[in-house]
């Protein structure tokens, strides 16, 4: 009986070792397959030093999608009057039709981002179609401004985690939507902007709506009076000296807290 005890201990140890090896041989290849499929091997980080420095604790980035449109120039006039800079995520084929508006926005210090060439829904497209639309949008912008856009906003905010890892783009989402695409009511949009105004906010708007332009030009002087400053997305993201990553969507950037992604 005495000799059985060490034998059973050995058996137990052997069983544990076999179990561990089994687990390792199952989990490790599985992780490698997942890493390969999602290409989640880090593709480098970039420290943005392209923005303005000295941005304070009450900074907001207004972002305008889907233009240029009939109302973009009215918006640009107002922004010039208040000496405010914003970010436009333009659609490539619209930019080609109205290059002078995009050039004006760029020359007046606004950031021009890419919103794809044809407002492609990534959820309904394959990766090659997505890449093509992104590249065509970039080219359209570069031909007007002479500069390749660095930032991308996915139409509808639709982008999957696996797609993100396959696209070499700095994605910008938003911390607050004004729902201006849904409700064309200047008072409603104005109230949404005022409610969502906070440090680090990236606010989603559309310069394709007259009511949005009216609401924004009403909100800006009031928020300036409250001590807010309006900055471009790159300024906001570079404010804390954060490293940002391609394939990561950013939605906010609080003072001294770093860029927030999801």
Task: Name the site residues for Zn ion (rule: CB under 5 A).
Answer: 65-66, 155
Which residue numbers are catalytic?
65, 206
Nearest approach in angstroms of CB 206 to Zn ion is: 7
Taking the complex as a whole, how short is the minimal distance between the CB of residue 110 and Zn ion, in angstroms?
Answer: 17
Residue (68 or 228) nearer to Zn ion, CB: 68
Determine contact, residues 212/79, Cβ cutoff 8 Å: no
Q: 109 near 85, Cβ under 8 Å?
A: yes
Beta bridge pairs of residue 64:
88, 205
What whole-number distance in Å separates Cα of residue 234 and Cα of residue 61? 9
Nearest approach, Cβ of residue 163 and Zn ion (Å): 17
Q: How many residues does the chain have?
A: 262
Supply 30's token pair.
Answer: 């599985």
- The reply to whether omega before 127 is within 30° of 0 (cis) is no
Nearer Cβ to Zn ion, position 68 or 155?
155
Closest C-alpha among 203, 183, 207 to residue 193: 203
How far apart are CB 120 and Zn ion at their closest, in Å?
A: 10
Position with the least CB separation from Zn ion: 65
In 3D, which of 148, 161, 164, 58 has the Cα closest to residue 112? 148
Nearer to Zn ion among residue 85 and residue 208 (C-beta): 208
Nearer CB in complex with Zn ion: 116/252: 116
């Amino acid at each position: 009986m005495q000799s059985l005890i060490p034998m059973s201990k050995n058996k137990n140890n052997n069983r544990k070792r076999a179990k561990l090896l089994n687990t390792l041989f199952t989990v490790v290849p599985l992780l490698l397959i997942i890493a390969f499929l999602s290409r989640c091997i880090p593709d480098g980080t970039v420290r943005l030093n392209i923005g303005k420095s000295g941005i304070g604790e009450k900074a907001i980035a207004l972002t305008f999608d889907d233009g240029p449109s009939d109302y973009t120039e009215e918006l640009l006039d107002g922004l010039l009057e208040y000496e405010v800079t914003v970010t436009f995520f333009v659609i490539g084929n619209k930019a080609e039709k109205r290059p002078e508006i995009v050039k004006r926005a760029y020359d007046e210090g606004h950031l021009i981002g890419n919103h794809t060439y044809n407002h492609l829904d990534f959820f309904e497209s394959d990766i090659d179609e997505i890449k093509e639309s992104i590249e065509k949008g970039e080219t359209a912008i570069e031909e007007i401004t002479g500069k390749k856009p660095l930032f991308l906003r996915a139409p509808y905010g639709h982008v999957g985690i696996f797609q993100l890892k396959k696209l070499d783009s700095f994605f910008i989402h938003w911390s607050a939507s004004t729902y201006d695409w849904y409700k064309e009511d200047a008072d409603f949009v104005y109230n949404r902007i005022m409610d969502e105004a906070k440090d680090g906010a990236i606010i989603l708007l559309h310069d394709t709506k007259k009511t949005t332009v009216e609401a924004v030009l009403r909100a800006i002087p009031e928020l300036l009076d409250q001590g807010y400053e309006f900055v471009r997305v790159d300024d906001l993201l570079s404010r804390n000296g954060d490293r940002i990553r391609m394939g990561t969507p950013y939605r906010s950037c609080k003072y001294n807290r770093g860029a927030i992604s999801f």
